[in-house]
Chains A and B, each alone.
Chain A
Amino acid sequence: ETGVTQTPRHLVTGMTNKKSLKCEQHLGHNAMYWYKQSAKKPLELMFVYSLEERVENNSVPSRFSPECPNSSHLFLHLHTLQPEDSALYLCASSQGLPGDTIYFGEGSWLTVV
């Protein structure tokens, strides 16, 4: 149990479907993150939210749309996905201060067919 919960753990979807990944943190943190983990690639930072405001967006395609309604919840809305989007999507949180440990969820495995 990491204090960061992601649902669903596994998602298989077609390219035209609209889906969402959900993340909830129970640690009282102020910053939340989405990372993408693909085979043979480094973890790629996708989005950073600090105090519910997006502070970083690393040139992520617009078919990925994040939403942070409050400091405990983070969503990743997905639409018109491509097969190369199949990956493990990791949510994480921290206090947002320099040197903070970032705590990761177990991830949501996305398969685009």
Chain B
Amino acid sequence: AQSVSQHNHHVILSEAASLELGCNYSYGGTVNLFWYVQYPGQHLQLLLKYFSGDPLVKGIKGFEAEFIKSKFSFNLRKPSVQWSDTAEYFCAVTANQAGTALIFGKGTTLSVSS
């Protein structure tokens, strides 16, 4: 079965600082990887995903993530955070098979101070 580990529970940054959130997954087969974001009071929405091809994936709002297969990792990065990036970030994995659902990590709360 798949599982996802997010190393940081709560990250606090100042505006313009760089961000990296760790994510490791456990699964022996081919996977699809996702980062979802949940802004305060809003629904979960997709930030970016890796399906195949270039392991460096660019998403919305300047976020990117790199899939490193040998490390089973899919870390999320942003070079310069903004106050509006304050949210909860979830890494998720699904096996590359039809009908399989997302398995989520525990989430990382990002607080950005202005």
Contact = CB atoms under 8 A, between A and B. Distances in A.
Contacts of B45: 2, 104
A13 B24 CA distance: 38
Given A98-B32, A99-B49, A104-B44, A41 B101 contact: no
Interface residues of chain B: helix, strand, loop or mixed (majority): loop
B89 to A, nearest CB: 12
Interface residues of chain A: helix, strand, loop or mixed (majority): loop
Interface in A82-106: 90, 96-99, 101-106
Contacts of B34: 101-102
Interface in B74-102: 90, 94-102
Contact of B101 (A2, A33, A101): A33
Interface centre among A41, A104, A107, by most B CB within 10 Å? A104
Contact of A101 (B49, B100, B105, B106): B49
